[in-house]
Amino acid sequence: MSRTGGGGVDRPAAGARATTGAPAHRRRGRVRRLIDRLASAGGPPAEASAATSARRIYILPTRSGVGYALVLLATLIGALNYQNNLALFLSFLMISASLVSMHQCWFALLGLRLEARDGVPVFPGQTARFPLVITDDKGQARYGLCIEDTPTPPPAAPVLAAKGHLDVDVGRVAERRGRLALGAVTLATRYPFGLFRAWTRVPLRAAVDVYPKPAARAPVPPALPAFVHHGSGDMGTGADDFVGLRPYREGDSPRQLDWKALARERGLVVKQFGGDQAARVWIDWDHTSGSDESRLGIMARQVLDAEEQNLTFGLRLPGVEIEHGRGDGHKHRCLSAMARYRIDG
């Protein structure tokens, strides 16, 4: 729409002025994303380890390269106009340097192997870290390598020695519960003069578990008596009275280790306690209410609270049951089961 001012001249409305065009950096971002999507289309399947391919290395001039080309064009036109041999020699020298720079920039990404590993589980809103190893297969040093699609790129461009390897972390922001895949990694360089940007997208197979977001607080889960007599003479698990030592088993809490025995070189042993006051708890889906995500958030809070209090707890989900246990390993098993609940099908 338009409106007429006092002088009878049509003026565009304020809303129309605000939408006449997007800022330049947004347009450049859209163009770069479009180029990346075209570069990724029809690529090889994701693997844990993959090498860069000559057919999937792309190169374009940077803004500095475009400015350099304009200066070079003006120098060449002036040299031809005035028929100055020294200026012509300078122009051809600059052209040669730019061509060599373009080839060096492209070859800097050829012959590299990338290997990704699964990262450490996180909660929604956190940044998952995927360990990535870049190895040189051609026997030449690489400079100015950069992983671009990560929230926190390295502060300085790392140097990869000939036949060496480089350890970097690739970050991905975890937005929701489930399995977060690493996906394709963009490896780029502007070596040697920054006139060109060469990049390649390498699909890698790695993932992390994104645990449910814990609720701010949760009710105490129902408890069962922990002192249970067994036919084998097991005195049960409690927290009142010390009843002896036993060998360390995977998943035992470090707080129960007998560190003095370890200092005396008697190996890893765990203190056992017995008593009726200690409790085993069930963290049960049927004892919570709400949507799936709210239920899982409450149960995640109960798991964290139970582990912090050194309780023996089990987990019950529809179709999934994890027996009672303690320790950091048991906590992560329960949280992983909740992370994959109705995700893996």
pLDDT for 311-341, tens place per residue? 889 999 999 999 989 888 999 999 999 999 9
Compute CA 137 distance to the chain's CA centroid, rounded to the nearest angstrom. 25
Looking at 67-76, 98-107, 119-128, 334-343, which range is the least confident one?
Answer: 334-343
The pLDDT of residue 309: 82
Residue 151 banded pLDDT, cuts 50, 70, 90:
confident
* Measured CA angle at 233 (ends 331, 222), to 5 deg: 40
Looking at 5-14, 26-35, 291-300, which range is the least confident one?
Answer: 5-14
Looking at 28-37, 58-67, 79-88, 324-333, which range is the least confident one?
Answer: 28-37
Q: Are strands 279-284 and 312-317 parallel, antiparallel or unpaired?
A: parallel
Residue 90 banded pLDDT, cuts 50, 70, 90:
very high
Contact criterion met (CB below 8 Å) for 47 and 60? no
DSSP state of 176: S
The listed range with the strongest mean pLDDT (145-154, 261-270, 310-319, 331-340) is 331-340
CA 218 – CA 216 distance, rounded (Å): 7
CA 132 – CA 115 distance, rounded (Å): 6
DSSP 219-258: PPPPEEE-----TT------SSEEEEEEE--TT--GGGB-
Residue 182 banded pLDDT, cuts 50, 70, 90:
very high
**Closest to 300 measured CA to CA, from 128, 308, 250, 207:** 308
pLDDT for 10-43, tens place per residue? 444 444 444 444 565 566 566 656 655 655 555 6
Q: State yes or no: pLDDT of 44 exceeds 70.
A: no
The pTM for the full model equals 0.69
pLDDT for 217-258, tens place per residue? 888 887 665 444 443 334 444 444 555 566 777 667 777 777
The pLDDT of residue 43: 60
Q: Tokens 């297969």 appear where? A: 137
CA 212 – CA 176 distance, rounded (Å): 8
Q: Tokens 């582990």 appear where? A: 307
